[in-house]
Amino acid sequence: MMTHFFSWILIALVCVVIAMLVFMLSGKLVYDKMNSMFVMNTNIVFMILIFGFIDGRMAMYIDIALSYSILGFVTTVILAKYIGGRR
């Protein structure tokens, strides 16, 4: 019963990620694309965790989600410093 509930949550999060991907390809400013990538980072972290619930072996998926969140944050900071200018 819990797995049935979590599958609906997973489908909703996949729809959000696809909507952000379409928005990234149709945005005009480069800052819009950076913003949509940042939104996708947080959603993918929760997709990994919820998938770990459905699969049963929760202990493996938490470490992957932890390292992905740190990786996404460092990527955003480096991209913002590169695109933003010299100051």
Partner 1 sequence: MSPSHVAAVIFISAGTVFLIISAFGVVIFPDFYSRLHASGIGETLGAMLMTIGMMFMTGLTLMSLKILIVFLILLIANPLGTNMIMLAAVRKKDFLDYNEQEPADQYPTDAVSGNGGNVGSDEDENDNDDKEDDEENDGREEPCIR
Task: Give the integer Cα–Cα distance in Å for 49 and 57.
Answer: 11
Does 77 participate in binding partner 1 (rule CB under 8 A)? yes
Residue owning tokens 């952000």 = 20
Contact between residue 76 and residue 41 where contact means Cβ atoms under 8 Å apart: yes
State the minimum distance, in angstroms, from the CB of residue 29 to partner 1. 6
Does 44 participate in binding partner 1 (rule CB under 8 A)? no
Contact between residue 37 and residue 21 where contact means Cβ atoms under 8 Å apart: no
Helix (H, G, I), strand (E, B) or coil at 1: coil
Does 39 participate in binding partner 1 (rule CB under 8 A)? yes
Binding site residues, partner 1, CB under 8 A:
1-2, 5, 9, 12-13, 16, 19-20, 23, 28-29, 31-32, 34-36, 38-39, 42-43, 45-46, 49, 53, 58-59, 62-63, 65-66, 69-70, 73, 76-77, 80-81, 83-87
